[in-house]
Amino acid sequence: MLWKGRRESGNVEDQRSFGGKSLGVGGLVLGAVVVYLMGGDPLAFLAQNAGNVQRSAPVNSTQDNEKKSFAAVVLAETEDAWNHLFTEAGRRYQAPKLVLFRDRVQSECGTAGSATGPFYCPPDRRVYLDLSFFDELSRNLGAKGDFAAAYVIAHEVGHHVQNLLGLEEAARRAQKGMDEKERNQVSVGIELQADCFAGLWAKQVQGKGLLEPGDVEEAIGAAAAVGDDRLQKRNRGYVVPDSFTHGSSERRMAAFKRGFEGGALESCTRGAS
């Protein structure tokens, strides 16, 4: 993706300095004061926790800053694309915030760790992303390339689009009173539609001449890499289709292609309640 030098979204909140296991010098001193006021031994506290200071790597490295810039550019491209698509549909698009965190984060959906992966929280209309997931996607899941990472952000923004259109709320209402298998099927539908929206976004990016050869294949590869069947096979050694909550690799790839080839909002919302 030809992203360098393009507009970076202003809707990025960088909370990476608040995460991790490091207390920081200020936190260490404050902790010692609290221990002293409570009648404890502040010197013992300092001795026990000094090793935690600066344990996490700095977040201002060149590589880290480039990842942040990339995420901000991708978010900006989603803003442009969805502003255009919503205007065509006679609607007004309200962009989400992208919260960058490290190790763990607090949202209105609760506390989450990096292992949760990127997620969207409907109540606070924010996408949460630990940039280390890009490395996980490439190194451990086999989905390489910058457009594979872009797909991840576009998918989560797709959940925001569902929220704005009332589709997410309708799906959650429909899940009430269902058994687990039925709820899972509704969840799969939600995720596949977000994949479709990611494909629709990719079509808009292609129309601006920003795609490079192989980009679409990278995104499709990422959709396949996070399919329930592939992840279950990798983690458990076997597959349980009734427990799928995001969809199989095949269905996720097909959903992305449907949005990309359809090129219109109706390509992903037709038949949705």
Mean pLDDT by 10 residues, the chain (273 residues): 97 82 49 50 55 48 89 98 96 97 93 92 96 91 94 98 96 93 96 98 97 96 94 92 95 97 92 54
According to the model, what pLDDT value does residue 20 have?
45
According to the model, what pLDDT value does residue 57 have?
47
Q: Are residues 154 and 253 in the same domain?
A: yes
Q: Are residues 158 and 79 in the same domain?
A: yes
Answer whether residue 117 is part of any domain.
yes
Across 217-236, b (16+ Cβ under 10 Å) vs e yields ebbbbbbbbbbbbbbbeeee
Q: Are residues 38 and 166 in the same domain?
A: no
According to the model, what pLDDT value does residue 44 have?
57
Answer whether residue 2 is part of any domain.
no
DSSP helix/strand/coil, 98: strand
Q: Are residues 112 and 32 in the same domain?
A: no
Q: Are residues 216 and 88 in the same domain?
A: yes
Q: Are residues 128 and 151 in the same domain?
A: yes
Q: Which domain holds residue 136?
A: 59-269
Q: Are residues 43 and 84 in the same domain?
A: no
pTM: 0.84
According to the model, what pLDDT value does residue 54 have?
41
Helices (H), the chain: 24-37, 42-49, 62-88, 132-135, 146-165, 167-175, 180-207, 215-225, 228-235, 249-262, 266-269
Q: Are residues 38 and 65 in the same domain?
A: no
Q: Are residues 72 and 34 in the same domain?
A: no
Answer whether residue 11 is part of any domain.
no
- Angle at CA of residue 77, ends 220 and 119, nearest 5°: 60
Answer whether residue 8 is part of any domain.
no
Q: Are residues 150 and 113 in the same domain?
A: yes
Q: Are residues 38 and 156 in the same domain?
A: no
The total domain count for the chain is: 2
According to the model, what pLDDT value does residue 147 have?
96
Answer whether residue 156 is part of any domain.
yes
According to the model, what pLDDT value does residue 13 have?
96
Q: Are residues 42 and 119 in the same domain?
A: no
